[in-house]
């Protein structure tokens, strides 16, 4: 695939910074041809990329350490960092999955944020979760969760929870999860 060859050549010149440029380039390919190109491209470069994934137009991965489970759906214009996306996860359009909630340290007392150490941590989204449009994910989301559109997840969300708002708060649990599930077991 020519895109992989171009990436490999640019990697020898720019190091790992070449990945983001390649990701931005492949993100702009429209239609089903673009979906197939992104599947093939990320299948070779991400830490893992499952079968039958859908990666929408304009979606960019900023870290090769990201992974996608089988049948993951990533909508249009999403941005994923150090993310572990489980099987059958659906990310609606414009979802951002950061590389943890504290990517920039504040160790250096003076100076700009460019002077700060960067700290990345994996953010996982459990199997079967659904993340609504425009949500920002900075902490782990459990399996089969529903995260409302525009929510900001800054603390871990338990399996089966429905969370909404800024910051995201659990408003209920899906059938079979939460406190009621503990009573049944």
Mean pLDDT of the chain: 87
Task: Determine contact, residues 113/73, Cβ cutoff 8 Å.
Answer: no
CA distances from 168 to 17, 26, 131, 141 (A): 32, 32, 12, 11
- CA-based R_g, the chain, Å: 18
In 3-state terms the chain splits into helix, strand, coil percentages (rounded to 5) of 25, 25, 50
pLDDT of 26: 86
Domain locations in the chain as residue ranges: 2-174
Q: pLDDT by residue (tens digit) across 59-110?
A: 999 999 999 999 999 999 999 999 999 999 999 999 999 987 666 556 666 6
Task: Determine contact, residues 110/92, Cβ cutoff 8 Å.
Answer: no
pTM of the model: 0.84
Q: pLDDT by residue (tens digit) across 13-54?
A: 777 777 888 888 889 889 999 999 999 999 988 999 999 999
Q: How far apart are CA 21 and CA 85, in angstroms?
A: 22
CA 144-145-150 angle, to 5 degrees, is: 145
Rounded mean pLDDT of 142-151?
98
Q: How far apart are CA 185 and CA 183, in angstroms?
A: 6
CA distances from 10 to 13, 131, 154, 160 (A): 5, 34, 35, 43
DSSP 18-68: HHHHHHHHHHT--HHHHHHHHHHHHHHHSSEE-TT-EE-TT-EE--TT-EE
Residue 170 has pLDDT above 80, yes or no: yes
Helices 2-14 and 17-27, packing angle to 10 deg? 150
- Span 2-174 CATH architecture: 3 Solenoid (2.160)
* Alpha carbon 48 to its chain's center: 13
Tokens of 80: 């994923």
Strands 161-164 and 152-153: unpaired
């Amino acid at each position: 695939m020519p895109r992989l060859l171009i990436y490999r050549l640019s990697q020898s010149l720019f190091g790992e910074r070449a990945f983001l440029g390649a990701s931005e380039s492949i993100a702009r390919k429209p239609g089903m041809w673009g979906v197939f190109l992104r599947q093939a491209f990320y299948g070779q470069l991400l830490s893992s990329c499952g079968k039958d994934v859908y990666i929408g137009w304009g979606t960019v991965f900023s870290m090769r350490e990201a992974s996608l489970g089988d049948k993951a759906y990533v909508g249009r214009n999403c941005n994923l960092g150090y993310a572990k996306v489980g099987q059958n996860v659906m990310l609606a359009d414009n979802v951002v999955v950061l590389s943890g909630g504290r990517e920039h340290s504040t160790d250096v007392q003076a100076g700009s944020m460019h002077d700060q150490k960067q700290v990345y941590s994996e953010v996982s989204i459990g199997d079967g979760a659904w993340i609504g449009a425009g949500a920002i994910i900075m902490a782990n989301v459990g399996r089969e969760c529903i995260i409302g559109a525009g929510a900001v997840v800054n603390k871990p969300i338990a399996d089966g929870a429905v969370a909404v708002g800024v910051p995201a708060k659990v408003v209920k649990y899906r059938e079979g999860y939460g406190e009621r599930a503990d009573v049944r077991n």
